[in-house]
Amino acid sequence: MPVLALKDAFTARAIGLNWDNYKASLGEAPYLGVNKFGVTKQEGLELKFIKGKNGMPVSLKASNFDAKAELRDSIGFSDVQNEMPFFRESIMVTEKEEQDYASYVNSENYAYANQILANIMKKPLDLVRGADVVPERMVWQLLAPIDGIPRITVTIKGETYDIDYTNDEGVAHKQDHFSELTGTDKWSDSANATPLQDLIDLKKNFSKKTGYKLTRFSMNSETWDMVTAAEDTKKQVLGIIAYQGGVRLEDEDVAKYLRGKGITIEVYDKMFIDEAGTTRYFIPTGIVSAQADVYLGAVTYGTTPEERSGDKATGNLSIVNTGVAIYTYTTNHPINTHSVVSEIVLPSFEGMDAVAVMKVA
């Protein structure tokens, strides 16, 4: 039963302790992209590596340093070096929420007080969900770029900034790592497309060019539906007799056929809401990302200003998910309690030479 004042009950420590339970209550599958990469933490902003509406989380917004966190409404070998971008947003507990909470505590109506506290606590937890969207977006911008160029784009107050992972605007990289189907070869042309052969050819040709053996082929369900809808797919998997007899083709039949060719299909449909409020797939429709079974890189977190200034001992700082900082503080006038969620994050991409992207529609 709550007996603490809100400033004592609503702390970064309490929010951090509630995060794992809240995440488990959502029942969401883990992010596929980040799971393909390792996760690590470092000091500073420079990342150096050797190249060889509907319950969906809203991506946390990028931020400038020395700027107040924006208040969310009720989201060969070569050395590569990038400055890691900074993301930060905040929420505020309103005076009315604080007053309602205090009134129920004072009247010993703990059920209602708990309900208000749970609703207040959910707001910064949703910011943490948004923080997790950021590295997932970054990973798929590297693994599944629509133009074949691995780069990360961030938006700060309407201005767009690119973080490049190649030193020639991707020209050399695209030659061996990107292909685009045209005309009747496009998978959207179900009568003429040959998606199974396209995948097999991608695997074979990439191995010849680079020596890497592609094994995991990632796409969203809209792209996968093009594979299974193609007339050629039905003929190849079912055989001409079954095809002419109208036997139904199941997704697992197609996946099994491809596994026999050394191709594992990953259908990944997670979505997010971007800064403009648009709902998007992490893997764009019409894009196939194929990866060899090698080390691809690491999602690297830096140390945010909140982590440097906060104090775990007093409870106003908590670190979750390796490098996401939760920071709480109270203003003197108006008297409000605030929670800031921030992260400095960027993935390395040592395995970029072991990834191929095909634009199929």
Q: What is the pLDDT of residue 52?
A: 44
Above 80 in pLDDT, residue 81?
Answer: no
**176 domain-assigned:** yes
Q: Which structural domain range is residue 241 located in?
A: 151-297+352-359
Above 60 in pLDDT, residue 119?
Answer: yes
Nearest one of 59, 35, 64, 61 to 272, comparing CA atoms = 59
Instruction: Please report which confidence band the pLDDT of residue 69 belongs to, taking 50, 70 and 90 as the band edges.
Output: low
**134 domain-assigned:** no
Nearest one of 297, 321, 299, 301 to 42, comparing CA atoms = 301
Q: What is the pLDDT of residue 257?
A: 97
Q: What is the pLDDT of residue 271?
A: 96
Instruction: Please report which confidence band the pLDDT of residue 53 belongs to, taking 50, 70 and 90 as the band edges.
Output: very low
**17 domain-assigned:** no
**130 domain-assigned:** no
Above 70 in pLDDT, residue 51?
Answer: no
**342 domain-assigned:** no
Give the CATH number for residue 274. 3.30.1930.10
For 111-147, letters b (16+ CB in 10 Å) and e give eebbebbeebbebbbbbbbbbbbbbbbbbbbbbbbee
Strands of the sheet containing 178-180, edge to edge, are 178-180, 355-359, 287-292, 214-219, 264-267
**163 domain-assigned:** yes
Nearest one of 165, 169, 155 to 85, comparing CA atoms = 155
Residue type, 250: E
Above 70 in pLDDT, residue 45?
Answer: no
**259 domain-assigned:** yes
33-47, 76-90, 144-158, 279-293: which has the highest mean pLDDT?
Answer: 279-293
Q: What is the pLDDT of residue 241?
A: 77
Provide the domain count of the chain: 1
Instruction: Please report which confidence band the pLDDT of residue 75 belongs to, taking 50, 70 and 90 as the band edges.
Output: very low
- Both tokens assigned to 53: 């509406």
Q: What is the pLDDT of residue 71?
A: 60
pLDDT, one tens digit per residue, over 304-315 is 999 998 989 888
Lowest-confidence range among 5-9, 233-237, 272-276? 5-9
